[in-house]
Structure 1
Amino acid sequence: MVDLIVIGAGPAGLTAALYASRAGASVIVLDGGAPGGKLNLTAEIENYPGVVQKGPELAYSMYEQCLSFGAKYEYGEVTHIVDKGDHKVVYTGDKEFEGKFVFIATGTKERRMGIPGEEEMSGRGVSYCAVCDGPFFKNKIVCVVGGGNSAIEESIYLSDIVKEVHVIVRRDVLRADQYLIDKLKEKDNVKMHYLRKPASIEITDNKVSGLVVSDSNTGELLTISTDGIFPFIGLDPISGFVKDLDIVNERGYIEVDENQETKIKGLFAGGDVTEKNLRQVVTATNDGAIAGQYIASLLK
């Protein structure tokens, strides 16, 4: 039995563990991936106050700092949680952990395009992480799907690696911040395709060879020759393992109060998996700090 089980080792989870363990709580952090969450997929962090560095570097700093106050890290994918009233039981594939409190910070996962060829070529020409896979497409042609901040950030990053970037936008405008749009305009190897949406993926010799896009108004099809496709069309919360607890809304996001506590006493959540207006590193650490400090106060 520990005081706090943190599910998810992104900025929210690591901050909650840091604040709680620093206040004397015994803490276990569970995650099925590398510590840092989506920080590991971000080339540059430019809007975290006082910090300008590569995402993976910030992730490792947060992880080291978190463990320095006694928190323990365990690798494991959580399958479900059982509420026992005065404590919770968290189950992974082959283990179970008991804690007085639980903080869920599982974040989000990239939304799929849902078109023919996507699943078949996932990891073989279709990638959801430009930082991870961009170097495989050096001097090649790629397509980026999306018009928000993530899509434009990744387009800028890829433009320095690949021969040509085609940006597919289903609307007639970009939704990204103007700062990013201005940076994108400086890239002469980026081609914009407005009012287009992905329809299917062309495959030749078991490799991605083209992206078929349709006109958003007329439905007319156009094939763009490409070696790789990077979809950034939105995110979905990783909350399936708690849907039976009735703490998520219709979109799958967990609802919490001002202390980051759900309707189940002792069960907290924070970061991108919660219902909120802004999902950023700085808001995730805010959630973790609030929850970690509050949980520590309940233990006294």
Structure 2
Amino acid sequence: MDDCIIIGAGPAGLTAAIYLARCHLSIRLFDSGSSRAAMIPCTRNHAGYPEGIAGKDLLHRMRAQAERYGAVREAVKVTAIEPDGDGFRVRTDHGSYPARTVLLATGVVNHRPEGLLPDVHDPALARGLLRYCPICDGYEVTDTKVGVIGTGEHGMREALFLRGYTSDVTLIAPEAGHRLDAACTRALDEAGIARIDGPCGGWAIEGDRLALDTAQGRMAFDSVYPALGSRIRSHLAIAAGALATGEGCLEVDDHQRTSVPGLFAAGDVVKGLDQISHAMGEAGVAATTIRNLLSERRPIRR
């Protein structure tokens, strides 16, 4: 029986694996290969990398560090977490595994604009023509022409955030028309943010810009931000009995404990700031709590 099974091998899961392996615990890390961090072409706001680092390179370094101390990583997909006595049984597409504790670090999946196919999406993302995180890379679009795909309060807030970096921001409805109340409209007008109706389509990279069709014709931008929300990958914990918000974010206490004893969560799957540094901090808290919990049940080393 493993001391802890970590589900998800992004920054949160890998940080926890490093901590727990260095506590001389038996760790199994399940990696489905779908970490959102792997999509980052280059992050320049992660401390310690002034020239930036690609998401895949950061994950590679973290995996090597975890494995150096004995963490076992397996490329499997988890299908269920089942409480079993004082521990859990984690079922995967390659069998089931018992564990004393479980840490869920499965993150979220960004909603992509409809009709934006991989043959345009992926190279646009790699070139910085398509971006998903204004907090991470708003600096990189300073004084450029930016489009935001979204509407409602969420779209309005993302457009206003980006207005702090450039005066040329356009909010484009993903479908036929905007859904903006008077307060949202007033805030956009006061910030000088243009509003364009959708639907969006005809996505293509044209020169150094990402272009698309709108209700007012074809437009091209230096960078486009989809503000369409995300899907929180919390279903495994919810099915095991963990409480979550209406949006699906897992509810945890100050020590990253879910409502199910022995089941922890860290990173973007938990309500909070979707940032690498924040996910790593939560993972450090969760790992320390897991170590102390296991030590209370049975001394770790004799």
Aligned to 1:33: 33
* Bigger mean CA offset, 38-47 vs 18-27: 38-47
Aligned to 2:292: 297
Change over 3 Å in CA distance of 1:279–1:129 after alignment to 2: farther
Aligned to 1:218: none
CA-CA distance at 1:258 after TM superposition:
1.3
What runs of 5+ residues in structure 2 fail to find an aligned partner?
Answer: 171-193, 205-209, 296-302
Question: Percent identity over the alignment?
Answer: 25
Aligned to 1:243: 238
Match of 1:255 among 247, 251, 258: 251
What runs of 5+ residues in structure 1 fail to find an aligned partner?
Answer: 136-141, 160-164, 186-190, 214-220
CA-CA distance at 1:223 after TM superposition:
2.6
Q: Given the alignment of the two structures, is residue 125 of structure 1 paired with residue 120 of structure 2, yes or no?
A: yes
- Tell me, what secondary structure is at the counterpart of 2:217? strand
Aligned to 2:181: none
Kindly indicate whether the alpha-carbon contact (under 8 Å) linking 2:27 and 2:71 is maintained by their aligned counterparts in 1.
Answer: yes
Aligned to 1:175: 161
Aligned to 2:175: none
Query: 1:254 and 1:66 mapped to 2: Cα distance?
Result: 25
Pairs within 5 Å for 1:107-122: 107-113=107-113, 115=114, 118=115, 121-122=116-117
More strand per residue: 1 or 2? 1
* Bigger mean CA offset, 144-153 vs 81-90: 144-153
Q: How high is the TM-score relative to the length of structure 2?
A: 0.72
Change over 3 Å in CA distance of 1:86–1:128 after alignment to 2: farther
CA-CA distance at 1:145 after TM superposition:
8.0
Aligned to 1:94: 94
Change over 3 Å in CA distance of 1:192–1:231 after alignment to 2: closer
Change over 3 Å in CA distance of 1:203–1:263 after alignment to 2: closer
Q: Given the alignment of the two structures, is residue 211 of structure 1 paired with residue 212 of structure 2, yes or no?
A: yes
Kindly indicate whether the alpha-carbon contact (under 8 Å) linking 1:106 and 1:238 is maintained by their aligned counterparts in 2.
Answer: yes
Kindly indicate whether the alpha-carbon contact (under 8 Å) linking 2:120 and 2:203 is maintained by their aligned counterparts in 1.
Answer: no
Deviations 1:120-179 (A, max 9, x none): x53133459712xx39xxxxxx6x5879446846867xx8xxxxx76245549431384x
Aligned to 1:188: none
* Bigger mean CA offset, 165-174 vs 41-50: 165-174
Change over 3 Å in CA distance of 1:196–1:92 after alignment to 2: farther
Aligned to 2:48: 50
Kindly indicate whether the alpha-carbon contact (under 8 Å) linking 1:210 and 1:223 is maintained by their aligned counterparts in 2.
Answer: no
Kindly indicate whether the alpha-carbon contact (under 8 Å) linking 1:88 and 1:101 is maintained by their aligned counterparts in 2.
Answer: yes
Kindly indicate whether the alpha-carbon contact (under 8 Å) linking 2:163 and 2:169 is maintained by their aligned counterparts in 1.
Answer: no
Equivalenced residue count is 256
Query: 1:296 and 1:16 mapped to 2: Cα distance?
Result: 11
Query: 2:260 and 2:226 mapped to 1: Cα distance?
Result: 33
- Tell me, what secondary structure is at the counterpart of 2:201? strand
Q: Given the alignment of the two structures, is residue 223 of structure 1 paired with residue 217 of structure 2, yes or no?
A: yes
Query: 1:86 and 1:79 mapped to 2: Cα distance?
Result: 20
CA-CA distance at 1:57 after TM superposition:
2.5
